[in-house]
Each structure stands twice: as structure tokens, then as C-alpha cells.
Amino acid sequence: MQDFTEGRIDRQVISFSMPIMFGNFLLSIYGIINLIWVGRLLGHTAVAAVSAAMPIIMLMPAFLIGLAMAANVLISQAFGRKDFVLLRKILSNSFMASLLSCLIISLIGLLLRHTLLAWVHTPPEIYDMTAAYLTIVIATMVLQFFLNWMNAMLRGLGDAKTVAQILVLLVITNTTFVPLFISGFGPVPAFGVAGAAIGTATAALATGLIGYLYMVRRNPYINMKSWDFSVDWHIVRQVFIIGVPASLQMLVVSLAGILIVSLVNRYGADVTAAFGIGMQVDMLAAIPSMSIGMAATTIAGQNLGAGKMARIAVHSREEAIPNSRDM
């Protein structure tokens, strides 16, 4: 964990953004590795099936990404203020609010998955594969949610190095499990394209469990047994007030992606496969700016919580959360 309320901000932004940038690079590589395994083991039509599902998969957690950003902001404020009673309340309330939202979104996604595939004009020759892949991803979205929320929590506490370590483990487990479930092993049958989704979910489950147990030993605030699980509606409200605008921005971007892929899919599976590969590579370009933004959010949040407004170049418009003794 790092305290950003003292020291040179320029150095802190650089040093903190580097592991975040590395972690985001790993996430992009993680998606590319999936396509490589699918392409090598199953061919270009399977790559097209995964590519056709990607914009929908990006749409599903868009709302949750905003809530995770809100958790990051609130956690960094409480940590900067050194109000650890409030910090534990924020951890529990933001986690439960985000988890409930994730389960609701997953249910909606499962009910509407065929409608969404029709909206993007999924080519008939890959429809069944795309539907199978998408169904498993949506059904296991809660596993990805836990990893994303855990990483946002750690960034709020100024710990980007552990986030990078967790993502390294995720890439390793994903690279191991995806080809095994695609091709089958031992008594486990070959699942084809669906195996890529099963392998990704298994990697997320293993990484989440190992990462949590690893963090509990290193970070006294992570252990859920020490959290205050009493519902604090002010914190829940703040999670949504801060998170919803960011969520709406992500939703607009995701809907634009769905519109584009709906046009691409009209040209057949070959074009869809090429588009999916290009989309994964294109995401690499956004990593530097996105990583610096994440670092600045945490640093500004800690200084806002500590009341050191002079260290914030542009005053935050976010409402600061009250001290625990004021609640």
C-alpha cells in the first residue's frame, strides 16, 4: 500500500501508473491469447464466433466498471483520511452493492442473449458457437466481477504491484486452462469454442481464490471477516452517484461497439474474425492514457480524503464522504 498524501506528485503518478499500465497490458494480452488458442485449435470460424460475442461481453459489465471506479474513489478517500473504520464499511457496502448489480445484469444478459445476438446480425454459420460462448461468459461473469472489484480496491489503497501480480497469475492460468477445455483432457471432453469460455472462467476462479488468500496475509483491510457488513445507505448512494456517470460513458462506448460489429457481421464470418483480431490489438493503444487516469484517480482521491486540496491540480467535483464519527 502507498500513501500519496505526501511527496512529489509527478513521481508518484509515474511510479504508480507503471504497474497499472503493465496490468492493463496483461489484460489485453489475455484476450489476444484466447483468440490465438481458439484460432490454432479450432480455426477462423471459431475466432469469428468469439469476435461476434465480444461487444456484447463488453456491454454486460459496463455498468459494473463504473461502480468499481466509484469504489476506488471512496476507498482512496477513506485511506487518505486514515479513517479505517469507514474504510471497512466502504469495502463491505461497495462489494455487496456491486455483487447484487452483477447478479442482476447476469440474469438479464442470460434472458436477452439471443435477442442481443440477433441485434448484431450474428452470421448463421457461427450462431450456435457464439451463443454457447456468450452464455457461459455471462453465466460466470460474477467470477470476473470479483477480480475486477478486487483490483479496483487494491488500486484505491495504492497497491498496484499486487494487482499486476494477480493479473500475471490470471494470464498464466488462462493460458493453461483455455486449450485444455477446448481440446479436452483425461475424462473431460472437448468443449470447442465453449471450452474457451469455460477455461477463462476456471482461470478467474483459481486466480480470485489464490489472489484473495495471498492478499489476506499481506493486507489487514482485505480480510472480509474484519469488514463491517451493516448496510450504510449513504455509502451505497455514493457508490451509485459517483459510479453511474462513468457507467453511462462505458455503456455508450459499448453500444457503439455493438453497432459497429452489427455492420461487420453482415459481411460474413471471415470479416468478423478479422475485425475481432483488429479490435484486440487496437485496445493496446488506449493503455497508457487509461493507466495514467487510473493512477491520477487514486492519488487525487487520497489527497481529497486527507483534505489536501493544494495537492490536487484540478479540484474534484466528487462529494467527499464524511468521517465515520460523523455518520
Nearest residue to 305 (alpha-carbon basis) of 143, 148, 79:
79
The residue extents of the domains of the chain are: 9-326
Three-class SS of residue 185?
strand
pLDDT value at residue 319: 44
Calpha distance 92→153 (Å, rounded): 11
Three-class SS of residue 228?
coil
pLDDT value at residue 325: 47
- With contact defined as beta carbons under 8 Å apart, do 64 and 145 qualify? yes
Calpha distance 286→163 (Å, rounded): 19
Q: Is 314 exposed, middle or buried (0-12, 13-18, 19+ CB in 10 A)?
A: exposed
Q: Is 219 exposed, middle or buried (0-12, 13-18, 19+ CB in 10 A)?
A: middle
Bridge partners for 185 per DSSP: 188
pLDDT value at residue 97: 86
pLDDT value at residue 323: 53
Nearest residue to 53 (alpha-carbon basis) of 107, 132, 112:
132
pLDDT value at residue 317: 42
Residue that the C-alpha cell 460475442 belongs to: 53
Calpha distance 257→119 (Å, rounded): 12
- With contact defined as beta carbons under 8 Å apart, do 292 and 17 qualify? yes
Per-residue pLDDT of the chain (327 residues; tens, 9 = 90+): 666 667 677 777 777 778 777 877 877 777 778 888 888 888 888 888 888 888 888 787 777 777 888 887 888 878 777 778 888 888 888 888 888 888 998 999 899 989 988 888 888 888 999 999 999 999 998 888 888 888 878 877 777 788 888 888 888 998 899 999 998 888 888 898 999 999 999 999 999 899 888 877 777 777 777 777 788 888 888 888 887 887 787 777 777 777 787 777 777 777 777 777 777 676 667 777 777 777 777 777 677 666 666 666 544 444 445 555 444
Residues written for the chain: 327
Residue that the C-alpha cell 489536501 belongs to: 308
Q: How far is CA 90 from CA 66, 94, 126, 153, 323, in A?
A: 16, 6, 44, 10, 12
pLDDT value at residue 245: 81
Q: How far is CA 10 from CA 163, 281, 297, 316, in A?
A: 21, 30, 14, 18
- Which ranges of the chain does DSSP label H, i.e. alpha helix? 9-42, 44-59, 62-81, 84-119, 127-139, 141-156, 160-183, 193-218, 233-264, 269-282, 287-305
The rounded radius of gyration (Å) of the Cα atoms in the chain is 20
